[in-house]
């Protein structure tokens, strides 16, 4: 199969990495995936640069403008139409609503019998509101729908009217695997050997519940003196949402802000004895949570989105209500029982090997593609 993946987002974030891992796995199976995306506005890590490093130089360049009908839309339709003419894909796989609409307009340029099929990836692991627009866009507006978890696919099957729909978890990079924490990285973060580290990877955004995270940490610190909180991620609002509230709560000396990490990210992740994820961001597959599982780190999560599907309660971690006492209690429970923590971590790793690999994602997507083409 020839598959043209289209995304207008140049950033190396959200669904970008799962898309590239999927392309690699599909190529390994003998398919011919290609990518259409923007170049970054400045010299920095981007989807285009990562794609080139993986041997997927973008076959065409979009403007990167936002909005489904905004500036650059007409030119981008021409870009997608030209890429289809050159690549002759069997399918176009789109990852955002703007890409979806660009592809719909672009493929109208071809005779009906020769039009590539259109598959849409849903970013959010939530039930899509059944508005008239959504019923069309995610119904007859696409030939196949890929959801970020099996349960999400079941929730949204009603929008499809019997058309193909599939749900599968994301894919984990092969650099994530169980390994003893590097003492040098631990020391560079300011942790002592006896410190017990709770960690989170999340962009500093208002909806990510840093207020709950910090209040739960305050309650944990009052009972477990050696507990520490490690916050990994960037965000222009980090000072207001995380750093200033930590100072106000009197816990800033026990919270480490590691910022955005690149080359040493896996090593920083391994410093965590317990991983926490409260609210999914732009990537409904919750990539950081999958990475923690692949490192054999048990997780404490809320019941949002796909989190209760990724973390099996009392099998690979704990699922708790969004309450400070419940969150602090779950952390305290796991920190107090290292053997149980190790058992949960090993189970998380085994599940990651069974469910969160690029090959398993490719299994589901390949099956969806075949149904769409039939």
Q: Which domains does the chain have, with CATH numbers?
A: 2-170+357-373 (3.40.50.2000), 183-355 (3.40.50.2000)
Percent above pLDDT 70 for the chain: 98
More confident residue, 221 or 233: 221
Q: What is the pTM (predicted TM-score) of this model? A: 0.91
Report CA 56 to chain centroid distance, whole Å. Answer: 20
- For 59-79, what is the mean pLDDT? 80
- pLDDT exceeds cutoff 80 at 69: no
Handedness of CA 336, 340, 345, 351 (dihedral sign): negative
216: closest CA among 125, 330, 316? 330
- In this prediction, residue 190 carries a pLDDT of 94
**Continuous H helices in 126-279:** 132-137, 150-156, 183-188, 210-223, 238, 244-248, 265-269
Give tens-digit pLDDT for 168-207.
999 998 889 999 999 999 999 999 999 999 999 998 888 8
Question: Do residues 144 and 165 make contact, with C-beta atoms less than 8 angstroms apart?
Answer: yes
Is the distance from CB of 31 to CB of 62 less than 8 angstroms?
no
Among 7-16, 164-173, 316-325, 335-344, the least confident range: 7-16
For residue 67, what pLDDT band results from cuts at 50, 70 and 90?
low
At 283, the pLDDT band (50, 70, 90 cuts) reads confident
pLDDT at 68 over 80: no
Distances (CA, A) of 129 to 51, 97, 135, 168: 33, 15, 8, 20
Spatial distance between the Cα atoms of 196 and 304, rounded to a whole number of angstroms:
26
Structure tokens belonging to residue 219:
């309650």
pLDDT at 100 over 60: yes
Highest mean pLDDT among 14-23, 63-72, 104-113, 135-144: 135-144
Average pLDDT over residues 26-33: 96
Residue 274: its H or E element: strand 274-277
Q: Is the pLDDT of residue 71 over 60?
A: no
Strand partners, 2: 32
pLDDT averaged over every residue in the chain: 93
Q: What is the pLDDT of residue 249?
A: 96
Digit-coded pLDDT (tens) for 242-251: 999 999 999 9
For the residues 85-93, what does the mean pLDDT come to? 95
Contact yes or no for 126/134 (Cβ under 8 A): no
């Amino acid at each position: 199969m020839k598959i043209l993946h289209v995304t207008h987002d140049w950033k190396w974030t959200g669904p970008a990495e799962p898309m590239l891992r999927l392309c690699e796995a599909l190529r390994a199976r003998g398919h011919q995936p290609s990518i259409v995306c923007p170049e970054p506005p400045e010299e920095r890590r981007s989807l285009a640069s990562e794609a080139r490093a993986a041997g997927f130089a973008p076959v065409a360049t979009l403007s990167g403008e936002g909005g489904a009908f905004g500036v650059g839309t007409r030119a981008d339709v021409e870009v997608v139409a030209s890429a289809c003419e050159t690549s002759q894909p069997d399918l176009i796989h789109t990852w955002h609503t703007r890409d979806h609409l660009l592809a719909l307009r672009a493929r109208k340029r071809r005779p009906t019998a020769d039009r590539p099929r259109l598959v849409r990836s849903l970013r959010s692991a939530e039930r899509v509101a059944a508005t008239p627009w959504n019923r069309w866009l995610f119904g007859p507006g696409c030939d196949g729908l890929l959801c970020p978890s099996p349960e999400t696919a079941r929730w949204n099957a009603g929008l499809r009217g019997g058309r193909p729909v599939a749900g599968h978890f994301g894919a984990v990079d092969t650099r994530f695997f169980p390994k003893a924490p590097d003492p040098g990285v631990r020391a560079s973060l300011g942790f002592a050997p006896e410190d017990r580290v709770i960690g989170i990877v999340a962009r500093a955004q208002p909806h990510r519940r840093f207020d709950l995270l910090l209040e739960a940490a305050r309650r944990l610190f009052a009972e477990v003196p050696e507990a520490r909180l490690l916050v990994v991620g960037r965000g222009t609002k980090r000072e207001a949402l995380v750093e200033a509230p930590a100072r106000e709560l009197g816990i800033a000396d026990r919270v480490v802000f590691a910022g955005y990490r690149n080359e040493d990210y896996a090593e920083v992740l391994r410093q965590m004895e317990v991983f926490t994820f409260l609210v999914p961001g732009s990537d409904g597959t919750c990539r950081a949570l999958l990475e923690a599982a692949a490192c054999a780190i048990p997780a404490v999560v809320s019941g949002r989105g796909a989190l209760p599907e990724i973390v099996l309660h009392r099998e690979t971690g704990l699922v708790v209500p969004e309450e400070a006492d419940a969150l602090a209690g779950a952390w305290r429970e796991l920190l107090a029982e290292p053997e149980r923590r190790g058992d949960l971590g090993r189970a998380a790793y085994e599940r990651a090997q069974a469910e969160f690999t690029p090959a398993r994602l490719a299994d589901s997507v390949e099956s969806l593609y075949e149904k769409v083409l039939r």
